[in-house]
Amino acid sequence: MRSYILFSILAIGIGTSGCHNQTNSQNADSIIAPGQMPNIAKDNSDKIHLVYGVGDSIMYSYSADHGKTFANPALISILPELAASHMRGPQVAAVSDGLLVTACTNSGNIFSYIMDGSGKWSQTSRVNDVDTVAKEGLMALTADGQNTFAVWLDLRDKHNKIFGARSTDGGKTWSKNILIYTSPDTTVCECCKPSVVMRGSDVYVMFRNWLNGNRDLYLVHSSDCGNTFDQAQKLGNESWALNGCPMDGGSVVIDNNGKPQTVWNRKGTIYSCEQGQEEKRLGQGRSCTMEIVNGKDVYAWVENGEVVILKPQGIKKVLGKGQLPLLKAVNNEHILCVWENEKQIHSAVLEL
């Protein structure tokens, strides 16, 4: 009942005309809709797709004009006990013939939904092949063509590990779950969201480990679309000894040379790092993310409760109060930032 009431309130506020009437003309900071835990993807036609949670409702919107405006939100599905807070929320990826969304319940099951070329949504299969093992609700999703890969914190055998699953048909079906990493010190960091990105047959998974008392970021690579993974490698030279969870996972992207580039927080300092290289300090804060625009690195994070962007020229711009920013290149000169503040989805398009 909670989800139906929330969706009804939302519909009254924004209208019920589906995804056809463009709203929210962009300026420095626009509110797209009420909601939590936004996630974004861009398809081959440069359309930006947005998913987020409202109660038990998985919501969807899109922008066809490089993030300047977003369509009226539409309901993908109602998923009882949807996890949509504290880094936990629906994930979206663009596949060759539509969109793929994954969403987790508080009981620990991950479900997938696909949108076909006509705009119709349908639920497909469950991603986790053992019941209620994703109780942390921390997961990530990526796709390239019809190949997709999902990762999550998995509690089978009672301790958090990094598990994944592959789909070769755009999320209609999922493979047997794959153990990507298990810590020899029992568990990985329990409350940090993993990240995943793929290009061609390469899949990179980044996660915060708990090894020898340190909460450091590790990167693991697959060269065969996620069938097998190499040994995990620590990122950066220094370590963070911490008896607790920072609840901060970072972000990984693939650059124009096919190399993974990462950004993450250690002791409240934001670092960028290429695998095997020394980390570089960017600033102070948490909840960092990055994107590559026309070969240039762009970063965003939260500093003193405000979302900030670091442009390629080293110029930092404050966008406003909020948390958990996400970045997406809309063309070679502009970038879209989406974030959450007080249970509302905000966005801004910035010239680089």
Q: Which domains does the chain have, with CATH numbers?
A: 2-266 (2.120.10.10)
Mean pLDDT, residues 264-273: 98
pLDDT digits (tens, 9 = 90+) for 219-250: 999 999 999 999 999 999 999 999 988 999 99
CA distance 116 to 252: 28
Q: How confident is the model at residue 336 (pLDDT cuts 50, 70, 90)?
A: very high
Terminal-residue alpha carbon distance, the chain: 45
* Buried b or exposed e, range 121-147, using 16+ CB within 10 angstroms: beebeebbeeeebbbbbbbbbbbbeeb
pTM listed for this prediction? 0.91
Confidence of residue 25 (pLDDT cuts 50, 70, 90): very low
Three-state DSSP at 102 gives strand
The backbone region for 229, taken as left when phi is positive above 0, alpha when psi lies in -120 to 50, beta otherwise, is beta
351, 350, 352, 349: which is closest to 70 by C-alpha?
A: 349
Mean pLDDT of 32-44: 97
| pLDDT above 90: residue 90 | yes
Q: What is the DSSP letter of 82?
A: B
Closest to 78 (Cα-Cα) out of 60, 55, 107: 55
Confidence label for 118 from pLDDT (cuts 50, 70 and 90): confident
Residue 288, both tokens:
């960092």
